[in-house]
Amino acid sequence: MHHPFVSIIVPVYNGEKTIAECIESLLAQDYPKDRYESIIFDNNSSDR
């Protein structure tokens, strides 16, 4: 089966408490690791 290359874009704002779970979920996917990229960006959060 052909898997297209996909980009997963995750905007984050004050997500310190939830970002680890989000990343773990992305890494646990069955989709081939060489067929996707994860782009996680933050814009001026007030948490760490």
Question: What average pLDDT does the segment 6-23 reach?
Answer: 96
pLDDT attached to residue 9: 98
Domain span including residue 37:
6-42
User: Dihedral, CA atoms, 29, 22, 41, 27, nearest 10 degrees?
Assistant: -30
pLDDT of residue 7: 98
Report if residue 30 sits inside a domain: yes
Residue 42 has pLDDT above 90, yes or no: yes
What's the domain count of the chain? 1
Which pLDDT score, from 0 to 100, does residue 8 have? 97
Considering the chain, what is the average pLDDT of its residues? Answer: 95
Please give the model's pTM, rounded to 2 decimal places. 0.79
* Residue 33 located in a structural domain: yes
Look at residue 32 and tell me whether its pLDDT is greater than 80. Answer: yes
SS3 content of the chain, % helix, strand, coil (to 5): 25, 30, 45
